[in-house]
Structure 1
Amino acid sequence: KGSKKHKIGVISANPSQSKHLETATMRIHGIEVDFVNLRAQEIYEDDSRIPTTQFGTPLEDALRRDFTVNSLFYNIRTNQIEDWTNRGIHDLLHHRILVTPVHPLTTFHDDPLRVLRAIRFSVRFDLLLHQDIRDAAMDS
Structure 2
Amino acid sequence: MAADTHKQDTFLTIHNSGSTNFPGYTITINDAGSGTLVYEECRYAPERPQCQKEDKTFPLQTFQLSPIRQLLSQIGSIQNIPGHSCIKSISMGSTTNMFYQGQKSGDISCINSSDPPLYQNLKKEVDALIAQATRSS
- Tell me the TM-score normalised to structure 2 length: 0.24
TM-score by length of 1: 0.24
Structure with higher helix content: 1
Q: Which has the higher contact order (CA 8 A, sep 6+)?
A: 2
